[in-house]
Amino acid sequence: MIAQPELKDPKDLHPKPDFPRQPQERPGLAQDMTPTPDHGEESYKGYGRLKGRKALVTGGDSGIGRAAVIAFAREGADVAFNYLESESEDAKQVVKLIEDAGRKAVALPGDIADEEFCKKLVADAHEALGGLDILVNNAGRQTFQKTIDELTTEQFDNTFKVNVYAPFWISKAAIPLMPPGSTIINTASSQSFSPSAMLLDYAQTKACNVTFTKALAQQVMDKGIRVNAVAPGPFWTALQSSGGQPQDNVTEFGSSTLFDRPGQPVEIAPIYVLLASQDSSYMTGEVVGATGGKTPY
């Protein structure tokens, strides 16, 4: 019999604001955040729901991607994950966490804003894992700008390359390699439906992720591949402290939710496990929210 955890008030499970100001250069490191995000390093328990599966996760070094990687490994999957070279310190920790779970870890650094790298990323993951049946398009760029005048073409272009082009390139390369029963999971955002004024470019890309999910799901069902998306609200990740939010917002981050706090990455990991597993076999083209009660759709 599996022991059930003690019931606790969800509002009190994790830290609440006020948080200290903590500016970082983009893309930021989880290990430099205060409080340190909970990705499930100590708390996530697996039950073998992904035994023998082979996953590729972009942005797997920190944040929601790291939480998904830890959960997948503890559920029995071998995992390849992508990150930028500047995030290598976080990535080393993730490799150890995967290996400590008894699974194969494949670390694949590189910039997914480059199409040729995206193709190589999929090929390398497929070869190293001996297959590929879970793809999580999670890596994203978010940099606030208060007005459209401050939003440069360079930033606009890179935000779309990372958040929109890369999932397209990676999915296009992966689909021919994925057997029936495989699943693709895209990380969208509550910004898809309820955009913030200062996230003009980011919000557009997240809306693209939703539409991409729904359209691609219709294309690939005849191959036996399901495609779904997760739409997080305010989660405590390095994306926020490294330019995703003004520092005044970081100190109060998540305080407007019904929980009076941000979500921790471990709290959304079970959704990725559900969508990756056969337990969600009748779900495709869906968007699953985790917004702290601020669901706008």
Q: Which residues are catalytic?
A: 202
Q: Strand pairing of 105-109 and 134-137?
A: unpaired
Tokens of 182: 């495989």
Helical packing angle, 166-174 and 115-129, nearest 10°: 40
Ramachandran angles phi, psi of 97, nearest 5°: -65, -40
